[in-house]
Amino acid sequence: MPPFHLAFPVHDLAAAREFWGGVMGCAEGRSSDEWIDFDFYGHQIVAHLAPARSSDAASNHVDGHGVPVPHFGVVLPMKEWKALVARLTAVGTDFVIEPTIRFAGEPGEQATMFFRDPSGNAVEIKAMANPDNLFAT
């Protein structure tokens, strides 16, 4: 699968570097005084300094939760998802939606969690009970 590229605004590059590089464990690529590339599980995400940009606070109702919109994330193997839950919990992450199982017993059953980076960008990390069902209806 080819890697995707996502650029997103941050209010502070040092805080972005600490969160995305330190807490999330994303290797840092190129950078400048205005942006930082990170390796997000093989995908390129770029934190661009945009201090005047505020995050959107909208949400949609999904399986009993208010899901932040917009958001981005990745689908991990279950073992990696559980390890990340432990790491984020250990550093006191304030979850928007606590780690949970969504759509239990349905083809789309998945483990999911939502949190925000220091600039308020919403992130969802999920793992599928059956990875072959990622696009199942």
Tens-digit pLDDT profile for residues 39-70: 999 999 999 999 887 556 677 778 777 888 78
Query: Mean pLDDT across the chain, nearest whole number?
Result: 92
What are the angstrom distances between the C-alpha of 18 and each of 11, 69, 75, 117?
Answer: 13, 24, 22, 10
CATH of residue 126's domain is: 3.10.180.10
Q: Residue 110 in contact with residue 118, Cβ under 8 Å? A: no
Q: Are residues 13 and 78 in the same domain?
A: no
Indicate whether this model's pTM tops 0.85. yes
Query: Is 117 found in the same domain as 66?
Result: yes
CATH (domain of 34): 3.30.720
Domain of 71?
A: 58-133
Q: What percent of the chain has pLDDT over 90?
A: 75
Tokens (6 digits) for 124: 């969802």
Domains in the chain, number: 2
My answer on whether 24 and 64 are in the same domain is no
Cis peptide before 3 (omega within 30 of 0): no
Residues 63 and 128 occupy one common structural domain: yes
Sign of CA dihedral 82, 98, 19, 109: positive
